Structure 1
């Protein structure tokens, strides 16, 4: 049985029109891909429920739901690595958000600029490259 990520939390103040567009997982969460404004560098991926989305949209800072700690956290409160939100977009399926930010400091909890600095995985290349339709 899956439980809501915030069973004791009051109902979110998220705009009902926005809430209706979200398709949440069984825990009530959507993936939030965080991207640097300008460079388009992908910085990190976090999880948001309706309340975290509401807080992000209304405060101009990124808020996430910590699945391990079972609590909300605002990026930068303990690390100083603040994410100032420039825009938030919802994908075509409603199950992911793209949060464009101005990042101050490292985005990753390891101290790296991005969480995707761990190295690329090997990818098999086809013998010939298929033509892409124009």
Structure 2
């Protein structure tokens, strides 16, 4: 496969594109992250989610520390070419660094408060051995 498909992505001024990870089995949105050209290309080549960490300024292979790898099943580009959707299988069932299934575990109540809707499946201290 040549790299011409990467030219159809509308990269922002930092050379990044937003990426949404969606669970193949449930359709649930697991997380949001950023990708650069290299991470997107490697994601396709390795068939696992690889993101660009803005805080660390380096590639971030999802699960490199936690073991919670995102195995790639499908990849989509939105109509404007400026958002990537990764259809993934979340190995280990945890996508969030808080130990929850999804990073989207808070819901806005009618009273204007953020309610935690998902329990911690595994303590972050047990996931990230420092």
TM-score, normalising length: structure 2: 0.79
Provide the residue aligned with 2:85 in structure 1.
Answer: 98
Quick one: distance in 2 between partners of 1:97 and 1:35?
Answer: 11
Q: CA deviation at 1:24?
A: 1.0
Q: CA deviation at 1:123?
A: 6.4
Quick one: distance in 1 between partners of 2:25 and 2:100?
Answer: 19
Q: CA deviation at 1:67?
A: 0.4
Choose which of 79, 93, 114 in structure 1 pairs with 2:102. 114
Quick one: distance in 2 between partners of 1:112 and 1:100?
Answer: 19
Alignment deviations for residues 15-55 of structure 1 (CA, whole Å, 9 cap, x no partner): 43212211111110000000000210000001001100000
Choose which of 76, 98, 101 in structure 2 pairs with 1:89. 76
Alignment deviations for residues 54-92 of structure 1 (CA, whole Å, 9 cap, x no partner): 000000110000000101010111101011100111011
Question: Within the alignment, does 1:20 sit opposite 2:13 as a pair?
Answer: no
**Higher share of residues assigned strand:** 2
Alignment RMSD: 1.6
Q: What stretches of structure 2 of length at least 5 have no aligned partner?
A: 112-130
**Alignment map for 1:1-134 (pairs within 5 Å):** 15-105=2-92, 106-117=94-105, 119-122=106-109
Q: What stretches of structure 1 of length at least 5 have no aligned partner?
A: 1-13, 125-134
Provide the residue aligned with 2:128 in structure 1.
Answer: none
User: Cα 1:29–1:15, aligned 2, differ >3 Å: closer, same or farther?
Assistant: farther
Q: How many residues align?
A: 110
